[in-house]
């Protein structure tokens, strides 16, 4: 059954591939991102590009207004926009920490609040939030990124209970290591934040390790995430969580069974 879908972060990586896949399945897909020109190639698959900044309420309202005007409904919202900014707590400015929360959590929440009245009126809908295995465990020097993802997990669990009476599902996608530019961006932020401070040497080493990992062949193809999102969209009764991608399941399992200090040691020596 064809659904009207709005997906954020559709200009690259996971969002781009998911938008294409869902459009090829026959769904009416609106791909949203700040850089609308990067989504132009998706138009040949039937995706409608939308300019959207999830941190701007006027932008959110305009995007929702367009979808409703053209399609009359929103069946699925995929909150996929986000970024990773690594750095020691001491080194990362509170302004940068707040910005990461603005994008990864509050932008997601604002868009969710904007679509809920339409889904409630329909008595149906599905909200799919891109979290991370980093919402279930913490890697070295990534405090603020992980704080946002832990928050997305809690937000989604609470939302799922609230909207169930309206026939609305809430699903979490929890990717592991995925071969996108995310790791390179996070590594650059990490090295830049450390500068000549107390964490400079360890930050440089960790950043080099991240770049090596994301340049290698171990990371999973973004298609594993778009496949999971496709299941979350199309199944009559989706799971509440999809844990997919390199290292996600074993690392979450180890985090659950290992003593905290043992897991800390493993993560600080991972690079």
**CA distance to 180, 186, 199, 211, 250, per residue, from 203 (Å):** 21, 11, 6, 12, 25
- Element spanning 200, H or E: helix 200-215
Quick one: 30 exposed, middle or buried, by C-beta within 10 A (0-12, 13-18, 19+)?
buried
> Which structure tokens are listed for 164?
């169930």
Phi-psi sector, 143: left (phi>0), alpha (psi -120 to 50), beta:
alpha
Instruction: Give the distance between the most distant pair of CA atoms in the chain.
Output: 56
**Catalytic positions, written as ranges:** 11, 131, 145, 149
- The phi, psi pair for 31, rounded to 5°, reads -95, 120
* Angle separating helix axes 143-163 and 107-122, nearest 10 degrees: 10
């Amino acid at each position: 059954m064809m659904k009207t879908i709005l997906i954020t972060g559709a200009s690259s990586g996971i969002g781009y591939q998911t938008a294409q896949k869902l459009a090829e399945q026959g769904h009416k897909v609106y791909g949203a991102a700040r850089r609308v020109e990067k989504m132009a190639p998706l138009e040949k698959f039937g995706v409608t590009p939308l300019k959207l900044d999830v941190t701007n309420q006027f932008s959110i309202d305009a995007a929702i207004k367009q979808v409703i005007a053209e399609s009359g409904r929103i069946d699925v919202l995929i909150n996929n926009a986000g970024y990773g900014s690594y750095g020691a707590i001491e080194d990362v400015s509170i302004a940068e920490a707040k910005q990461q929360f603005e994008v990864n959590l509050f932008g997601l929440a604002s868009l969710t609040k904007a679509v809920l009245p339409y889904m409630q009126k329909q008595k149906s809908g599905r909200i799919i939030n891109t979290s991370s295995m980093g919402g279930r465990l913490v890697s070295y020097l990534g405090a603020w990124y992980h704080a946002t993802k832990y928050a997305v997990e809690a937000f989604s669990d609470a939302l799922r209970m609230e909207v169930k009476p309206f026939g609305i599902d809430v699903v979490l996608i929890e990717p592991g290591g995925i071969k996108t530019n995310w790791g390179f961006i996070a590594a650059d932020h990490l090295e830049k934040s450390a500068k000549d401070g107390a964490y400079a040497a360890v930050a440089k080493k960790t950043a080099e390790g991240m770049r090596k990992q994301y340049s290698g062949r171990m990371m999973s193809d973004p298609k594993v995430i778009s496949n999971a999102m496709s299941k979350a969209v199309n199944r009559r009764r989706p799971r509440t969580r999809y844990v997919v991608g390199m290292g996600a399941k074993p690392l979450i399992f180890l985090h659950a069974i290992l003593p905290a200090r043992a897991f800390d040691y493993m993560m600080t020596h991972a690079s």
